[in-house]
Amino acid sequence: MLCKMETIYTYLNVRTKTSIMEDGAEISYKYHRKVLTPDMDVSGESAEIQALAGALWTDEVKKAWADKQSEEV
């Protein structure tokens, strides 16, 4: 499985590639995308994503995200 991450402001855009292999050759693949935001629990994500979220989503970023969300209600 291949994972590509992209940071857009406070979002983490995660793209995962799942490959179907036969005799060592890729015969099919599919991409899945998801967006993670500072208010989400990332404990079920890979260690790499958890580390990135931990580094980017400081308390200041989390507060700014929460403030922005409350403005949109």
Average pLDDT over residues 58-62: 90
Report how far residue 21's alpha carbon sits from residue 59's, in angstroms, rounded to the nearest whole number. Answer: 42
The structural domains of the chain, with segments of one domain joined by +, span 2-71
Q: How confident is the model at residue 3 (pLDDT cuts 50, 70, 90)?
A: low
The pLDDT value given to residue 64? 86
Is the model's pLDDT at 2 over the cut of 90? no
Q: What does the pLDDT look like over 10-44, one tens digit per residue?
A: 789 899 999 999 999 999 999 999 999 999 999 99
> What phi and psi values does residue 7 have, to the nearest 5 degrees?
-105, 125
Q: What is the mean pLDDT of the chain?
A: 87
